[in-house]
Amino acid sequence: DHGFDPLIGALATCKLCDAFIRFAGGIGIDLETGLAVQGGDWRNEGPQSLDMRKHVVVRAVETGKARYHVRTHGLCKFRRGELEIRELPFELVEGARSLLMEAAEEAAKGAIYHEGDMVGSPRQPMMLIAGRETDEETGTREVYELVDVNAGREPVQSGATRGIQALLHIRK
């Protein structure tokens, strides 16, 4: 859309923060992920050596009835909306977490996504819809929820169980 490489700005900011941490001789807290950062952790990172786990985390929270809400934290540092999946059964949580980390890496490297985009397996696609603002943690962050689509390619109200299952099946 705008030709801006989100990775360059984020890495430059991280290197500046790293310099402050090393100068102060302390540790820093990444406010988006909650991770503690020691001086030197971000010093030599570049586009080829980026370790996404230092910048984005995926948290899963049980919402009841053995269902989980899985969401990224930290994509906003790369000028991208956070991604979430709701109503996910426990057996798909780890696979969904892995898929969201892969998507985070693609987004950090420049992939652009918008509300209404179809993503995932062509046989069982998911749609990105505006995330629900049900928790105070989201604040002003842009969040997109991945949901399954019905036979008419319309988004279902919540949940992406079929889409996640299809993607995990492809990976095997």
Enumerate the domain spans of the chain.
54-171
DSSP string, the chain: -----HHHHHHHHHHHHHHHHHHHTSEEE-TTT--EEETTSSTT--TTT--GGGT-EEEEEEEETTEEEEEEESGGGGT--EEEEEEEEGGGHHHHHHHHHHHHHHHHTT----TT-EEE-SSSEEEEEEPP--STTSTT--EEEEEEB-TTSPBPSS--HHHHHHHHHHH-
Whether 7 shows a pLDDT value over 90: the answer reads: no
What digits encode the pLDDT tens for the residues 49-72?
888 888 999 999 999 889 999 999
What digits encode the pLDDT tens for the residues 130-145?
988 655 555 678 999 9
pTM of the predicted model, to two decimals?
A: 0.85
Residue 160 CA to residue 86 CA, distance in Å, equals 7
Whether 82 shows a pLDDT value over 80: the answer reads: yes
